[in-house]
Each structure stands twice: as structure tokens, then as C-alpha cells.
Amino acid sequence: MTPSFRPLPSLTAARAEQVPGLRLTQLRRAAQEAREAFVAGGPVTAVATCDLITFPYPAQFAFSGAALSPAPYVMMKNRMQVVQFLEDGELRTLLFNPSDYERGMAAPFFRGLREKYGHFVSDKVMSTRHGTVQSHLAALGLKPEDVDYIAFDHLHVQDVRGWLGGEGASAYFPRAKLLVQQAEWLGAKNLHPMQAAWYVPNGTAGVPEERVVLLDGDAWLGPGVAILSTPGHTLGNMSLAVATDRDVFVVSENGVATESYTPLQSGIPGVRTFAEHMGMEVVLNGNTREHSLDQYSSMVVEKLFAGPSPVDGAYVNFHPSSLLTGSMLAPGLSPTVVLPAPNFGDVRPPAAARQAA
């Protein structure tokens, strides 16, 4: 199966501008134009959001140091989207952020937490397991062979060998291909020391080349679903964009909360003051600073592409892949608003969907 994806209009040309300020200006216009074309292409078939695990994350990174709290960690809930769409008339199933979180614990940051606090506190007090990729797919009636594509907004704490096969692992998904930006794939294989804490050692080792689709920019997968190239948080960061028959939403980890995109609406102590003082319209999830200017611009693209939330127009229809979650362990760091998790249509096994059609 060779993907027949096409680019979104306008965005590639805007990104070619070398001057960051001019590039942001051009990206604002391009994001609006791309959104109009995307919506005109029709809605996605179905999408389901699945909670995976709640985990601790350094508070100083979540809002780039803006949030004021004595707590060292915020709590974030990692989520997967199961997206079904038509590609050349055929139903495809994409898993966006199917985190194999047990393997992900091998990333140096989380391995260090276990060594510091012990397995019981790390796994039972600071973390909550909501479900696995396998259990969620089974609940939706999907089998491993029903999955066509998997993708991640970036490869922090990901080990894809269990899904695709590779060094020391057999493939759980027999047909699925990984969609990944070429810059992210090459970067994960050639880590800089400042990146290493967040990547699983050898998490991509031995994955067969034929199981990987290297992207170079945006990819319009089919009606109602696209991958936006949103570099900055990592070199090859990307976002999921989905159009339903009632709204457009965007998913990534560029921001940890919807209010990261409207910080003047934030009730988290320090965030609004920081944004006002610095003149910033978005506040970055800043655990890496590889290209912060690009990340800021990418968040503006996400903000404009998603548009206002249909639930509360004061906020952007952005849904973090790892959502800031209130916790007694993180006083003062609860989200101001939590939008309903995006779900649309009925995710079905491909055979059942064809019979229904």
C-alpha cells in the first residue's frame, strides 16, 4: 500500500521564508487559507479519543516557567485518537499517539523518577493507568490487522519496536505503517545530549524501512484528516488536524492545555501575568528548546487552523495529546477549562463499515 497523500495549500511556501518574524506573518495567512480548503474537503469518517496514562511532568516546563506553584510536577493525561477516514475510497484507520507507555518508562527522565521515588510511588501514586492501546482497540471492535497507520506528534518517550517490529521485538500491528517527519526520524536516531533524556534508547532500532513513511511537511491524508508540520517542540513535531461536520480541532503536545493558546484567559497563577509581560499570545510546552521561535509559530498555526471552541468561544479548539489534569499533588496547577474529548461518528471494524455502507 503506497499512501496517496497530498499537501495542504499555502503552508509550505510560508515556511520557506527565512526571517522568523516575516515567516510568522505569512504563516498566519497560510493557516487560514489551508483551513478553508481543508473544511471544504469534507468531514472525517469517525474519531474516538482514548485515555492511556496520567503521569508527572516538570512544572517548570509545562508553561515555560510561567506557572507559580511549589509543586515540582504537573499531572498530564496522555491520550490516543483512533481516526477513520477514506483514502481513495478505501476506509483507513490511523492511531495518533498510540503510546506503549510501559516501554516508554525506559526514557531516562522516567527511569530517573523511578529510581528517585521507587516503583510503588512512581507507578501507583504519581501515575494512573487508564487503559492500553490494545484494550482500547478491543473495546472498539478493532483487531491489530485493522490498523493501517500509526503516528505520534513527536517521538519523546516512544518505543515503536513493539508495534512495528525491530530489535528484540515482534510486530503487534502486522500491516501498519508509521507516519513520521523525516527530521524527527533522523533526529531520534542521532540524538544530541540535550535531547536524550526524553527518548527511549534504541526506540527505533531495527524497525523495517518498509514500515516507515517519511513525511516532509504537511500531509492531507483524506477528507477531514491531515498531519500539520509543526516543528519546534522537536525538529519533526507534527499535529493531527480533524474536521467533523461541526468543527475543526487540532491535537499535539506543543501546549499542555487549551489555555496555552489563550494565556490571557488562564486562571493558573502566573500564566496570564507572564503572557502580558512578555507580549506572548501562546505559552510553550518548553521541555526542549531546540527551536522555540518555530514552536511559537507552529502554535499560532495550530490556533488559527483549529479556530474557536464550539463549547466556549473564548478558547481555542485545541486538545493536548497530553492534557494538563488537576491533582492534589499539583496545587494551583489545574486547568482553567477542559474541553470535551473529541469524538465523532462510529469507529468500526473495516468489514462492518463496508457492510453498513
Residue 253 has which C-alpha cell? 503536545
Task: Look at residue 348 and tell me if it is in a domain.
Answer: no
Tens digit of each residue's pLDDT (9 = 90 or more) over 211-245? 999 999 999 999 999 999 999 999 999 999 999 99
**Considering only 166-170, 238-242, 262-266, which range has the smallest mean pLDDT?**
166-170
Question: CA 267 to CA 259: how far, in whole Å?
Answer: 9
Assess if residue 6 is contained within a domain: no
- Asked if residue 97 belongs to a domain, the reply is yes
Dist. CA 118–CA 350, nearest whole Å: 43
**What domain range is 134 assigned to?**
21-342
Query: What per-residue string of b and e applies to 237-269 under the rule 16 or more CB within 10 Å gives b?
Result: bbbbbbbbeebbbbbbbbbbbbbbbbbebbebe
Backbone angles phi, psi at 72, to 5 degrees: -75, -20
**354 in a domain, yes or no?**
no
From residue 284, alpha-carbon distances to 102, 225, 252 in Å are 27, 24, 12
Please report where in the chains the cell 515556511 appears, as a residue.
Answer: 15
Q: Confirm whether 1 is domain-assigned.
A: no
With respect to residue 356, please indicate whether it lies within any of the assigned structural domains. Answer: no
Who's near 2: CB < 8 A, 6+ residues apart? none
Please write the tens of the pLDDT for every residue from 282-322: 999 988 776 899 999 999 999 999 999 999 999 999 999 99
Tens digit of each residue's pLDDT (9 = 90 or more) over 109-121: 999 999 999 989 8
Whole-number CA gyration radius for the chain: 19
Q: What's the total number of domains in the chain?
A: 1
pTM recorded for the entire structure: 0.96
Of 336, 269, 322, 253, nearest in space to 52 by CA: 322
Is 105 domain-assigned? Answer: yes
CATH classification at residue 112: 3.60.15.10
Q: Number of C-alpha atoms within 13 angstroms, CB side, residue 87? A: 19
Residue 349 in any domain: the answer is no
Q: In a 10 Å sphere around its CB, with 0-12 CB exposed, 13-18 middle and 19+ buried, how is residue 115 labelled? A: exposed
Q: Please report which confidence band the pLDDT of residue 325 belongs to, taking 50, 70 and 90 as the band edges.
A: very high
